[in-house]
């Protein structure tokens, strides 16, 4: 049983977004065992869902958001997440804008985030941040400052915010440096009471459980995620969001 995505450092609630057709590839199977740590920063979503209002979500980041490694546009994590949330919240039309650009680091995405928030109103921003910064290295304090700046930027604009932290991959050249960036994202998010989809921890557990099967969660470059990996990521994120917005209500089954 793989580890589920977790919201960090807040009370645990259960969510049940079952999958009629789990993602499977070469022995890698996506099985839900959701443990969601909720965060009141996303409470406005609950009210909109309860009222059947539409939800506009901005997914912004680098290649993990763009979907490098996915076989088709509808296999990216934002597309899969939109499909899952549409099943979970059938009365609230969900639109997720995929604003991912491969290769970006935090300052580049931060500039686009500022422009995107001026151009359109969103109910939620999912900011995937840190992977390329961690791979390339640089000024860690400057990176911390940019994460804090992005949080302040989204809050000033009005949407709720969740952060998607870096992915885990076994071939990382400098695990200690990479880990410091992952830790920095979590520390700043906790300080600012921003929920984090803890992708790094979840993927590391997938690898620890079955290193051979884990290969199928990654693309052929051993770095970007595959269709199966993106699908598992989207399911964990959907479970987290549904658990936060309606923690005591049964949720419809989600099919692929």
The residues spanned by each domain of the chain are 12-245
Task: Give the pLDDT band of residue 249 (cuts 50, 70, 90).
Answer: very low
* CA separation for the pair 220, 226 (Å, rounded): 8
> Could you read off the pLDDT of 49-79 as tens digits, one per residue?
888 999 999 999 999 999 999 999 999 999 9
In the predicted model, is pLDDT for residue 90 greater than 60? yes
pLDDT of residue 254: 40
pLDDT of residue 14: 31
pTM of the model: 0.85
> Could you read off the pLDDT of 173-230 as tens digits, one per residue?
999 999 999 999 999 999 998 989 989 988 888 888 889 999 999 999 999 999 999 9
- CATH superfamily, domain at 12-245: SGNH hydrolase (3.40.50.1110)
Cβ–Cβ contacts within 10 Å for residue 39, how many? 22
Exposed e or buried b per residue across 10-28, where buried means at least 16 C-beta atoms within 10 angstroms of its C-beta: beebebebebeeebebeeb
Task: Give the pLDDT band of residue 36 (cuts 50, 70, 90).
Answer: very low
pLDDT of residue 135: 95
Return left, alpha or beta for 85; rule: phi > 0 is left, psi -120 to 50 is alpha, else beta.
alpha
Task: Give the pLDDT band of residue 153 (cuts 50, 70, 90).
Answer: very high
CA atoms within 13 A on the CB side of 255: 0
In the predicted model, is pLDDT for residue 44 greater than 70? yes
Measuring CA to CA, which residue among 203, 237, 196, 241 is closest to residue 222?
A: 203
* CA separation for the pair 189, 61 (Å, rounded): 16
Q: Which residues contact 191 (CB under 8 A, 6 or more apart)?
A: none
């Amino acid at each position: 049983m793989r580890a589920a995505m977790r919201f960090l450092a807040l009370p645990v609630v259960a969510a049940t977004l079952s999958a009629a057709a789990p993602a499977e590839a070469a022995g890698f199977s996506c099985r839900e065992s959701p443990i969601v740590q909720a965060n009141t920063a996303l409470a406005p979503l609950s009210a909109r869902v309860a009222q059947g209002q539409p939800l506009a979500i901005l997914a912004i980041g680098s290649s993990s958001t763009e979907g490098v490694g996915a076989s088709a546009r509808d296999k990216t994590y934002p597309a899969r997440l939109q499909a899952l949330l549409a099943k979970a919240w059938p009365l609230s039309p969900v639109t997720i804008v995929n604003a991912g650009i491969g290769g970006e680091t935090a300052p580049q995405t931060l500039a686009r985030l500022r422009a995107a928030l001026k151009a359109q109103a969103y109910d939620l921003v999912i900011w995937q941040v840190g992977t390329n910064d961690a791979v390339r290295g640089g000024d860690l304090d400057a990176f911390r400052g940019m994460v804090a700046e992005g949080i302040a930027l989204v809050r000033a604009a009005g949407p709720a915010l969740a952060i998607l932290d870096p992915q885990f991959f076994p071939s990382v050249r400098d695990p200690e440096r990479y880990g410091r960036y992952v830790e920095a994202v979590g520390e700043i998010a906790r300080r600012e009471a921003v929920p984090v989809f803890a992708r790094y921890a979840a993927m590391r557990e997938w690898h620890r459980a079955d290193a051979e099967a884990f290969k199928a969660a990654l693309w052929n470059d051993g770095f970007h995620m595959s269709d199966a990996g993106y699908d598992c990521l989207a399911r964990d994120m959907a479970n987290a969001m549904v658990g936060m917005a309606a923690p005591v209500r049964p949720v419809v089954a989600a099919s692929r």
